[in-house]
Amino acid sequence: MAVHPIDFRYGSKEMKEVWEEETKLQKMLEVEAAIARAQGELGIIPMEAAEEINRKASTKYVKLERAKEIERETRHDIVAMVKAFAEVCEGNAGEYIHFGATSNDIVDTSQSLQFKDAIFILLDKLKTLRDELTKKAEEHKYTVCIGRTHGQHAIPTTYGMKFALWASEIQRHIDRLKTCKERLCVSMITGAVGTMAALGKDGMKIHKRVGEILGLNPVLISNQVIQRDRHAEFMATLALIAQTLNKIGITVRSMQRTEIKELEEEFDASKQTGSSTMPHKRNPITFEQICGLSRVIKTNALAEFDNIPLWEERDLTNSSPERCLFPESCVLLDHILNLAIKGMRKLTVNIENVNRNLELTKGLIMAERVMITLAKKGMGRQTAHEVVRKCAMKAHDENRHLKEVLSKDENVMKYLTEEELDELFDYKTYIGLAPEIVDEVINTLKNK
């Protein structure tokens, strides 16, 4: 019976396949086969044995259920895998499996192969999301909206700026994941405490050749495990990505509030139900799920940090949490990336409400522009700031339009004509270089 929601509610088939038990077994068999091949080439084991091991290094022959059956007796998963593997090899080839290796040579190296596959999927999704965000940035390059700081109306910006900002951040995550991959996806065939003692004088050659066969960079040095700073960096990178998706989700959810309603995620009014008791509800459940699951991914990163300081050459405290942490974070991040891609494609920008909200403060959002203009005309920047501030407070307290209050102020009207004052309250002409900035982001990301 399924227990974890990953089993029945969250995650894509392709990412789950990376972390399935069958896949894990297959990767371990591939590592054992690579060790045998390297040792066969060096004459350490008979080449015919190495060839037989490589022929049978598949779950077509080595069955997961058989390995589990043996593990129930041995209470050691790698020993069980080796025994199940040896059983299917012809002749005495099985005697040469795992020759000179330790369990974590197999566990950590095979895990690197899984990470490699997972990162390939995540990078593809990140690029897709980035491209969706740049499309939205282009579409809304001139969609003027209110900018908010501290949750309060600031000055105008554009929705193109918002989408371009997120796209740029996603690109940084793509770059982070690529560089992290080089440090994470490594191989290790170094024996019980990293000295290669059981491998003999050709230990370094075996270590390097296995990495070459598997397409992984061999570690420079290890003890019994690949050092967990690599894995913690990976988990931290996943958490960073999740927090960016969380940030996007919070903005969409906030902008979907009934009283704001500038953005709205897809809602199928013909079938979808928002509440079991309130028939009118149109809740932002997609982005809420993104925000919620991002917390799990962030927490998992903190747990992996505790796996860096193991006792001396190694203890077992990293093993049990990592069986949960790595698959869970990869599956959940892949899941919320899929949600974010779909959410962006179907996101609605309600222009009418965007324009309504620009007018909400009755011109107060143009106070900066008036202040800068007065300073340019000779009033002096500090004086202009105080004059406009007092007018703004008066407009706020008396619920009047700022332009009206300014037009009655003698200090202001010494420097401005009525026509000039009118022009200062055209929101669309006070977005600075926003369109150019958006173009710069789009053009830069196109070349990535």
Q: Which of 4, 98, 150, 401 is catalytic?
A: 150
* Distance in angstroms (rounded) separating the CA atoms of residues 161 and 173: 19
DSSP conformation letters of 354-378: HHHHHTTTTTGGGHHHHHHHHHHTT
Contact by Cβ (8 Å): 163, 133: yes
Decide: 424 and 366 in contact? Cβ < 8 Å.
Answer: yes
Burial class (CB in 10 A: 0-12, 13-18, 19+), 251: middle
Q: Is 280 a catalytic residue?
A: no
Given a contact cutoff of 8 angstroms between Cβ atoms, the answer to whether 274 and 366 are in contact is no
CA dist 195 → 28, 207, 312, 357, 386 (Å): 22, 11, 14, 67, 73
CA distance 243 to 293: 10
- 56: which 2 tokens? 């049978």
Q: What is the DSSP letter of 152?
A: E
Q: Which of 239, 240, 246 is nearest to 325 (CA)?
A: 239
State yes or no: is 103 an active-site residue: no
Residues pairing with 218 in the sheet: 187
Q: Are the C-beta atoms of residues 439 and 164 closer than 8 Å to each other?
A: no
* From 98, 103, 275, 319, active-site residue: 275
- Cβ-based neighbour number of residue 269 at 10 Å: 7
Alpha-carbon gap, residue 197 to 193, rounded angstroms: 9
Q: What's the CA gap between 70 and 62, in Å, rounded?
A: 12
Contact 9, 173 (CB under 8 A): no
Residue whose tokens read 């690529």: 178
| Alpha-carbon dihedral sign for residues 233, 237, 243, 244 | positive
Overall size of the chain counted in residues: 448
Q: Return the active site residues.
A: 150, 275
